[in-house]
């Protein structure tokens, strides 16, 4: 007597936030097996998707192997993304479009540039002073309004929440300093950085428990450090190029350590410290809390926050040298050593930023440092061409032509998929060396050795 033995397939079924392992019988349809396991398929409109994206007919017998992943999609179920978009697009008390706020940010930028270059009338005249402080009041009001009109949707990232409050507050702080004061530009940049830090701090507090908190916290720290450096150089009577050199030299190092600082995981989550802290040298210290079960919601929020922080930090740390190098290059020369250190600093920043994105994944992490390296190289070229003789310009042009030909020659094999481990290791050596030399070169370029020597003597 032959016995018909049923065959089974053990699969994993994901239904919304529920995840379970069930058995599918090869002698019944997929829908019947799911119904027998308690999956509701009758009262809602659903379809089943396999791991490769193909749709599975629930009326047919299963054609999957053991360990397959089946995802049940409910067509009418409101998703978190859809509700977030609807909440973001719903009109509210402060519903301003992104284009309008970005226009305000660009207008504040041009007002700041005009004030720094002297296009706006001097504040020692009555009319110029009235116009200047009227602009300060308007920009300060716009900065406060922009802090309270940015998005607070937990799963949606808003670039206006980072760009608009900081730029408008910086413009207001910059214009608040009259041009009749001594070193007014140095003081204006300091007040602008303080105002930007306060504005971003307000955005950080208002958008608590959202994905933007990692980026706002990073910006608060960055603006605070910049304001501290500018304020210290102002109090000590140093040139702003000192702070600019230190910031530009620290950018490659900050860009290198940024990925390891984005994920904030509790210490007790990775190691049960209580099991090992038994002797008298360790029991006196605080024991980290024990690990807890990690859900998909917790992991998604942590990864999204880290991804946003990594993207914003990459853009900010890449843009800092491009902003600070002109301040350093336009500073009055002190001695030959600091002049050589400026050239070394520019070279190591360009090399570090050009080689570091080789292991990057996203387009922001891959192209932001490279664009910044190109901008720094162009700024240095323009600075040299403004003061160098004709023979130096001819030699520089020849060098750039040689570099361009080398890049063009390397483009062809790279587009064909050629890979070389030796060349990669060679590039790693240059990348590590340039990153390690960036801050020492900035220290020498800022002429801090002579400053410390004079202070000690």
CATH value at residue 33 = 3.10.20.90
Q: Looking at the 3D structure of the chain, how many domains does it have?
A: 1
Could you tell me if residue 268 is inside a domain?
A: no
Nearest to 427 by CA among 351, 376, 370, 365: 351
Could you tell me if residue 38 is inside a domain?
A: yes
Provide the residue range defining the domain that includes 44.
Answer: 8-78
pTM of the model: 0.69
Nearest to 309 by CA among 210, 228, 436, 226: 210
- Mean pLDDT: which of 2-6, 29-33, 40-44, 342-346 is highest? 342-346
Q: pLDDT for 62-90, tens place per residue?
A: 777 777 888 887 766 555 433 443 444 44
Least confident of 97-106, 315-324, 353-362: 97-106
Could you tell me if residue 246 is inside a domain?
A: no
pLDDT-derived band of residue 180, with 50, 70 and 90 as boundaries?
Answer: confident
pLDDT of 178 over the 50 cut? yes
Could you tell me if residue 52 is inside a domain?
A: yes
Could you tell me if residue 35 is inside a domain?
A: yes
Could you tell me if residue 48 is inside a domain?
A: yes
Could you tell me if residue 133 is inside a domain?
A: no
Could you tell me if residue 108 is inside a domain?
A: no
Chain mean pLDDT for the chain: 77
């Amino acid at each position: 007597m032959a016995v018909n033995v049923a065959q089974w397939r053990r699969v994993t079924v994901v239904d919304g936030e529920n995840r379970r392992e069930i058995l599918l019988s090869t002698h019944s349809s997929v829908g019947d097996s799911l119904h027998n396991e308690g999956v509701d398929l009758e009262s809602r409109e659903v379809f089943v998707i396999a791991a490769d994206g193909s749709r599975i007919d629930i009326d047919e017998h299963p054609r999957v192997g053991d360990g397959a992943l089946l995802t049940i999609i409910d067509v009418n179920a409101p998703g978190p993304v859809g509700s977030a978009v609807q909440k973001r697009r719903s009109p509210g008390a402060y519903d301003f479009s992104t284009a309008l706020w970005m226009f305000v940010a660009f207008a504040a930028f041009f007002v700041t540039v005009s004030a720094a270059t002297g296009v706006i009338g001097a504040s020692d005249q009555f009319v110029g002073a009235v116009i200047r402080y009227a602009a300060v009041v308007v920009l300060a009001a716009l900065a406060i309004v922009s802090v309270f009109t940015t998005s607070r949707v937990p799963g949606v990232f808003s670039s206006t929440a980072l760009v608009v409050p900081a730029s408008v507050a910086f413009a207001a702080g910059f214009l608040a300093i009259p041009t009749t004061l001594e070193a007014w530009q140095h003081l204006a940049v300091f007040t602008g950085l303080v105002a930007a830090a306060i504005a971003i701090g307000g955005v950080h507090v208002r958008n608590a428990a959202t994905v933007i908190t990692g980026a706002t916290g990073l910006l608060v720290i960055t603006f605070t450090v910049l304001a501290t450096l500018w304020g210290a150089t102002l109090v000590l009577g140093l040139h702003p190029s000192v702070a600019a050199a230190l910031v530009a030299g620290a950018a490659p190092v900050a860009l290198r350590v940024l990925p390891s600082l984005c994920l904030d995981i509790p210490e007790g989550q990775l190691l049960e410290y209580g099991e090992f802290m038994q002797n008298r040298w360790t029991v006196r210290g605080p024991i980290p809390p024990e690990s807890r079960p990690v859900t998909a919601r917790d992991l998604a929020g942590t990864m999204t926050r880290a991804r946003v922080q990594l993207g914003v930090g990459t853009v900010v740390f890449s843009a800092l040298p491009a902003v600070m190098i002109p301040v350093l290059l336009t500073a009055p020369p002190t001695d030959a050593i600091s002049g050589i250190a400026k050239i070394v600093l520019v070279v190591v920043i360009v090399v570090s930023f050009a080689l570091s994105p080789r292991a990057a994944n996203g387009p922001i992490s891959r192209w932001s440092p490279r664009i910044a390296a190109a901008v720094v190289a162009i700024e240095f070229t323009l600075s040299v061409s403004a003061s160098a003789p004709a023979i130096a310009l001819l030699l520089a042009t020849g060098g750039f032509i040689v570099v361009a030909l080398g890049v063009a020659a390397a483009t062809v094999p790279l587009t064909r998929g050629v890979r070389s481990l030796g060349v990669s290791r060679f590039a790693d050596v240059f990348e590590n060396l340039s990153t390690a030399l960036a801050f020492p070169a900035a220290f020498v370029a800022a002429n801090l050795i002579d400053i410390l020597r004079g202070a000690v003597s």
